A and B are shown apart, each in its own frame.
Chain A
Amino acid sequence: MSGPRVNPTRARQMAVRVGGIIAWSAFLSAAVATMLCFAFIDPHAFAAGATPSWWGPRMQVYAIGFFFFWGVGLAAAALAWFLAHGRRMGR
């Protein structure tokens, strides 16, 4: 079977949709990862000297942790998509 024929409008819609899928799956995994991580780790349990400069109140560390996991998930999902389909985009 040959790959889907691509016209510019369709390609743009496809890119948006693939981007959405990548962002959304990364978001879901980040939500789970954040919950698991901070269920076991209390940001305040670290000694003051052992924390990086951006460390702050718990809510801040939770939020930064969430975006960190989201970033990692984005990278993983994007890479997975690229390895699976990336060649077709170059055609």
Chain B
Amino acid sequence: MNAQLKVVSESYYAHQKVYPREVDGRFAHLRVLSVWALLGIFYLLPWLPWGGRQAVLFDLPARKFFIFGIVFWPQDFIFLTWLLVIAALLLFFVTAVWGRLWCGYACPQTVWTETFLWLEKFAEGDRSARQKLDRAPLSARKLARKSLKQFLWVSFALWTGFTFVGFFTPIRTLSAEFLAFNVGPWETFWVLFYGFATYGNAGYLREQVCKYMCPYARFQSAMFDRDTLVITYDTERGDPRGARKRGTDPRAQGKGDCIDCTLCVQVCPTGIDIRKGLQIECIACAACIDVCDDVMDKMGSPRGLIRYTTQQALEHKPSRLLRPRSLIYGALLTTLVVGFCAAVYMRNPVALDVIRDRNALYQVRDDGHVDNVYTIRILNKSEHAQRFALNAHGASALTLLPRMAEYSVPSGEVYSIPVRVRRATYEPLGAETITFELGSLDDANVHVTTRARFLAPTR
């Protein structure tokens, strides 16, 4: 059976609940730190004010994205796409060089599962206590423990859903509405939807999300090469496995360093045996490294029987950080990031839309003048209010009405005004393309032009 078929058929195996054992050590500390930092950012960021508004707000109802000092409009969609491409490429680069760091420390699935495991441990106890509780018949104690867990999970999930919605609709207004039991139907729906997704994914699906649902887990192997950092059991050093007395030399007994305590299997959140080699299920959480280092310390053997290393190093060859794959990903990433920063910095802080009046193509006046009516939309994307002057010119002599008008537009606002362009004489020109020019009266560098059609009868 080839590898792909194996993956497909294994995805139909009956699922068995994994009870990951708690682990303590260098990498576990790193993950705890990462969980606190990332969840801290997630839960606190929407509450951060910035110049009288929410610092990070993807205001979908108003179709504006606020990210600290910058306001993005639907017209800036290219920046969002650009940012997503950068994020994807960064993931490729990190994966090629350091393996599945993302999965082990930063993926929301990992971070929330870890938190839900803490809550579970708080309510039901450690691994063996949880297994015992699940096997035990229903009793008052079991019911109490399970209810406490459910209460903690549901509350945390709802808070998560609420925070999530708070990124899209102002969270202070939302919380006031919540306290007054006056939340809009769609906000309520999305809080429950995201809350339920968190509850299901972090409480029940857990490692199954990584194994069966995550597209990245399936294609990350394409970014791996022999120089990628992976978590591996050193077969050469560890095998043949077997128990021995503390402090004795395994070699003298014809054994390797592995004492076959199976702790590495017990701590694995995806329930695999790392000693069988690199597997697609491994999310590189390094729990097995921590626990094995601990065992090696106790046995008096050097640490690192399971460790971060590369295929090359295992074969006693030098690992290369600089190689075509990392260089190409790195160069592409640098180019995109520099380009993105430059583009955002040089972005025109004002936009001008010209929409033709749909009701009349043109009006021929008694005095022979031809009028076209337009709706002008001025978007002030800058951080301060500005006054603008508008002009229209073309091949013929044009007058813009109202004359000499000054438009004052607050920061982050759209100003819509109807204007009339008058061609002085009834010339046999027919239609022409004209140019609207908008300039800021406060900043000579800010100006923008937009072209539009001017329609007139041909004689």
Query: Footprint of B on A, CB under 8 Å?
Result: 4, 9-10, 13-14, 17, 20-21, 24, 28, 39-40, 42, 57-60, 62-63
Contact = CB atoms under 8 A, between A and B. Distances in A.
Contacts of B60: 58-59, 62
A5 to B, nearest CB: 11
Interface of B: 9, 11-12, 14-15, 60-61, 63, 74, 77, 80, 169, 184, 186-187, 189-190, 212-213, 215
Contacts of A20: 212-213
Given A21-B212, A39-B80, A63 B12 contact: no
A42 B186 contact: no
A17 B187 CA distance: 30
B251 to A, nearest CB: 45
A4 B12 contact: yes
Nearest to A35: B80
Given A20-B212, A40-B77, A60 B12 contact: no
A17 B212 contact: yes
A59 B186 contact: yes
A21 B169 CA distance: 31
Contacts of A63: 186, 189-190
A10 B12 contact: yes
**Is the contact region of chain B dominated by helix, strand, or loop, or is it mixed?**
helix
Nearest to A39: B77
A24 B11 CA distance: 15
A71 B60 CA distance: 22
A60 B189 CA distance: 11
B212 A58 contact: no
A58 B12 contact: no
6 closest A-B pairs by CB: A39-B77, A59-B186, A14-B12, A24-B213, A58-B61, A63-B186
A90 to B, nearest CB: 18
7 contacts: A4-B12, A17-B12, A20-B212, A39-B80, A59-B169, A62-B60, A63-B189
Dominant SS among interface residues on chain A: helix
A39 B186 contact: no
B74 A39 contact: yes
Contacts of B63: 42, 58
Contacts of B15: 13
Contacts of B213: 20-21, 24
B212 A4 contact: no
A59 to B, nearest CB: 5
A14 B8 CA distance: 11
A10 B15 CA distance: 11
A13 B169 CA distance: 39
Nearest to B76: A39
A78 to B, nearest CB: 17
Nearest to A63: B186
A59 B184 contact: yes
A24 B169 CA distance: 26
A20 B190 CA distance: 20
Nearest to B185: A60
A39 B60 CA distance: 10
Contacts of A13: 12, 14-15
Given A17-B212, A42-B74, A58-B61, 8 more contacts: A14-B12, A17-B12, A40-B74, A40-B77, A57-B186, A59-B60, A59-B61, A59-B187
